[in-house]
Amino acid sequence: MSTFKLADGALVKSYISIMFDGLKITPLPDVTLPEDGYVGTYIDSDGALVALTTCDLNISAYTACALTMFPANTAKEAISAGALDETLQDNLYELMNIYSRFFMDDHTPHLKLDKVFNLSELGDEAKELLASDAAKTTLKFELPDYGEGLVTFIAK
């Protein structure tokens, strides 16, 4: 059993819908891990990796742009380029930091966001957590005027 909790779609939506008007979140029956995109790593008070959030490239770009009201075309350019620029990466970092709340409640230990990076840079420890029987859930985010993509939460 996971020490940390996994957010459900309703909790995620309640936290972030204030930033993204009209956001629709749908839990998927199967966990889906993206081939390209970004990952946030979360550590406990001892510095041990305890959780991950993966975002496919599409939702990384769409949410990073929508956070600061950049136009959808900026997101589409990042998707075409296959990577977020520095400003969009900074925005995604802020979102991943907010996502840390989705692993905790009044009964779980504290964790914090450690790093956000491209999935292609995933280290062995994070790969082991992805492949493990850790608790996992995938949510489909649909962001009006931008697009959709997948966010997966993984916790020990």
Residue 144 CB contacts under 8 Å (≥ 6 apart), including other chains: 21, 22, 23
CATH class of 9-155: alpha beta
The answer to whether the predicted template modeling score (pTM) of the entire model surpasses 0.85 is yes
For residue 107 the two structure tokens come to 């009964």
Report pLDDT digits (tens) over 48-74.
999 999 999 999 999 999 999 999 999
Reduce the secondary structure of 9-38 to three states and give it as a string.
HHHHHHHHCCCCCCCEEEECCCCCCCCCEE
Residue 132: pLDDT over 80: yes
What is the C-alpha to C-alpha distance for residues 80 and 90, in angstroms, rounded to an integer?
19
Range list of β-strands (E), the chain = 24-27, 37-44, 49-56, 111-118, 135-143, 147-155
pLDDT of 2 reads: 59
